[in-house]
Amino acid sequence: MSARRIFARPARFAAIAPYLWMALFFLVPFGFVLKISLSQTAIAQPPYLPVFDLAAGWTALKAAFAALSIDNFKLLVSDELYVFAYVRSLTVAATATALLLLIGYPIAYGMARLPKRWQAVAMVLVIVPFWTSFLIRIYAWINILQHDGLLNQILLALHLVNQPVVWLSTDSAMYLGIVYSYLPFMILPLYATLAKMEPALEEAAADLGAPPLQVFWLVTFPLSLPGVGAGVLLCFIPIVGEFVIPDLLAGSNSLMIGQTLWLEFFTNKDWPVASAAAIVLLIVLLAPLLLYERLQRRQLEKR
């Protein structure tokens, strides 16, 4: 037997502990979300009915099953508030992802063209903000965007505006916050594919007479598509369920689904509806999630 195969056997045993952990704390909880989403709201602690009680025996279990209802899902589909929240989440995520691609691509492209030594420095510079707290970076923007904040002071000083502009609680502020927070997630996968690209390909196209823009569209961009895919999924999926950024930067007249879920859970204490909202969100995101999982696996296990 080869050394590789002998090594594989104990390596497989290493899976047991993380396997059990993730099964218990990641997989099983979805069962509870599903269960609660099918139960009724109650003014109690915890605030839902019915509760399965295995000790109560078969008849009680059957009664509990009979009491399950899809009322919460009916509510989600019929109430405009929720439908709007899902539509808004998807449009915001799509728009923000497009913006991120538009802004992130030139930066990643610039990085990939730096001399090798500087590439490592640029990479660290892009990663460091990712390590810095998410909440703090949003807060930094509140500092700048508020009524008498730095941005308005500069605009007033330059006489570009006559009175302070309202930036906070607008969609522009929210998009700014999202782009700012997720930019490293877009740049890094793009940079990874662009840096691996053979420069001779671009040079050959240029030598054959293609103008720079044509070289980019016919050679560079198509070859970078795997990076584009990874970056887009890495941004799009979490943005759909984003809570903190719209909550702190956007106005309160139209909510994203993450905010609606939060509101139902923490303010209205309606756990069943919050659970149903989570299940629907999960179903909406299932396709991109599976796609991302495949991309990730192929990337990490290709050797």
Q: Please work out the total of residues on this chain that contact another protein, with binding judged by CB under 8 A.
A: 105
The verdict on 103 binding another protein (CB under 8 A) reads: yes
N-terminal to C-terminal alpha carbon distance within the chain = 21
Coil vs helix vs strand at 253 = coil
> In the bound complex, what is the minimum distance in angstroms from residue 299's beta carbon to another protein?
9
x-or-dash string of contact with another protein, 57-96, rule CB under 8 A: ----------------------------------------
What residue spans of 39-170 are helical by DSSP H? 58-67, 71-78, 80-113, 116-131, 134-145, 150-157
Q: What is the distance between the alpha carbons of residues 246 and 86, in angstroms, rounded to a whole number?
A: 14
> In the bound complex, what is the minimum distance in angstroms from residue 35's beta carbon to another protein?
8
Largest CA distance in the chain: 80
Within 170-199, which residues bind another protein (CB under 8 A)? 180, 183-184, 187-188, 199
The binder of another protein chosen from 63, 70, 87, 128 (CB under 8 A)? 128
Stretch that binds another protein, among 69-77, 78-86, 147-155, 219-227 (CB under 8 A): 147-155
Cβ–Cβ under 8 Å, residues 255 and 82: no
The binder of another protein chosen from 233, 245, 250, 273 (CB under 8 A)? 233
Angle at 117 between CA 111 and CA 120, to 5 degrees: 55
> Helix axis angle, 171-196 relative to 116-131, nearest 10°?
150
Q: What is the distance between the alpha carbons of residues 205 and 39, in angstroms, rounded to a whole number?
A: 62
114 vs 166 by CB, closer to another protein: 114
Q: What is the distance between the alpha carbons of residues 111 and 125, in angstroms, rounded to a whole number?
A: 11
The binder of another protein chosen from 68, 166, 237, 254 (CB under 8 A)? 237
Those residues whose C-beta lies under 8 Å from the C-beta of residue 50, and which sit 6 or more positions away, are 39, 40, 63, 64, 67, 68
The binder of another protein chosen from 75, 137, 172, 195 (CB under 8 A)? 137
Stretch that binds another protein, among 55-63, 64-72, 220-228, 264-272 (CB under 8 A): 264-272
Cross-strand partners of 48: 41
Stretch that binds another protein, among 3-11, 65-73, 78-86, 218-226 (CB under 8 A): 3-11
x-or-dash string of contact with another protein, 6-45, rule CB under 8 A: xxxxxxxxxx-xxx-xxxxxxxxxx-xx--x---------
75 vs 114 by CB, closer to another protein: 114
Stretch that binds another protein, among 59-67, 69-77, 139-147, 218-226 (CB under 8 A): 139-147
